[in-house]
Structure 1
Amino acid sequence: MATFCTLLSPGISNEILIIPQEFQKHILNELLELALLKIKYFSHCAWNIRVHQIGTNIYLKEGWREFLEDHSIGDGELLIVRYDGRMQFSIQIFDKNHIERIDFPDTEIQDENLAFANDSASVGNIPSCQSSEFKEINKGEAAAFTNSEFPSFTVTIPDYCYGLRVPADFSRKHLTQGTYNLVKRSKGQKWKVKVVRLCTSVKLSGGWAKFRRANQVKCGDICTFKLVERKTLVVHVVPK
């Protein structure tokens, strides 16, 4: 199978996936409006990405940034893209230490074939992905905030900027896929964020990076999310 490599760097590679000129011969006779992307080790999960052709340039755009966010793929990581035919691609991800990422966390939530969960928020200069784990905690000020009749969960913020994983038990009981309001407890201001269900996790995705940047939420901070209405989460942040 034909393959090509792309190294993510700040800027255009986070917005589009450019198909190299020398690779285009493998897909020119099979071009479609949409391409289907899969992670090599999760072939039952797929993301639809829109294909653009301008002159001799071919690239994937709408859906590409969401694909990166949903897999917490950040700058400095290497992608090996394999063409499987009929505009279907399999992708391997290698971190900054050139180690292949195969440890995507597993949950009981199955893929719903997300397509074009676009969001206008820029991710800005927040540190890129280094870990895909979260810690559930229950102490001090964060614990006090959870003592109410509203369901809540508490996590330590990881050092990647895109999606934030929601504990599986909480998401199964209380969250549905869609757009939610995030309300900073001390400000009262609202931010829109998407809750997305993937084959590997449930995440706060589009809009989360904007909220994190606007409120200077940093790696190691303790955040408690309280579901006060059907689509509203109040967030309390305890700095590291």
Structure 2
Amino acid sequence: MSEEFDGLTALVTGGASGIGLATATVLRDRGARVVVLDRADTAPDGLDLVHADVSDDGQVRSAVAAAVERLGGLDILVNNAGVGAQGGIDANDDDEWRKVLDINVLGLVRVTRAALPSLRASDHAAIVNTCSIAATAGLPNRALYSASKGAVLSLTLAMAADLIAEGIRVNAVNPGTADTPWVGRLLDAADDPAAERAALEARQPHGRLVSAQEVANAVAYLASPGAGSTTGTTLAVDGGMAGLRLRK
């Protein structure tokens, strides 16, 4: 496994924490040279960082160019950067809708657009987008977030169709509720954090939150040259939430 990505290069957005950090670490440990793109000011241990906010096209273009220069090319792009939102359809004002869609959807577009020339030059080009169970299952109090991830799901399929002739594979990973810093902040803000965590765990058939490492392993599979015939696919890492209906 440590040689799976030998000679390949990868850029992971939102790679300074959570699923992004786990993904960057897995790719590095399996042989890839990795740069993370993040708003963080400090690079995670053992990883190189380019600073950018994916809502700013100028920052994105400069950061992607810097990453490609450091890496000497680009084979793998992981579009992981994103933000969450809570509430039903009437809970978020127009500015919040614009902000979340600008980061979760247009941010993916900006980074991919900047990276495409380098990916087109690769013999093993792969893009993996971080989507969500919220794109395929109706979750309460997640209207805005679900809409943004539904767009990511549709965009993944459209990108795969557009880019297959150029040898660029495009897939998405669909995590269930994952044990990440963002979910941790939601739990901390709840009236009863322990009860809220128990409810989120019970919602997933395997009875616990998904780990960032499990999602990262799925991303690595989709990015691997060994998955050369896999494109236009969404891989659920959700403890069975999307498809299982267990009797209680």
TM-score (norm 2): 0.18
Q: Which has the higher strand share?
A: 1
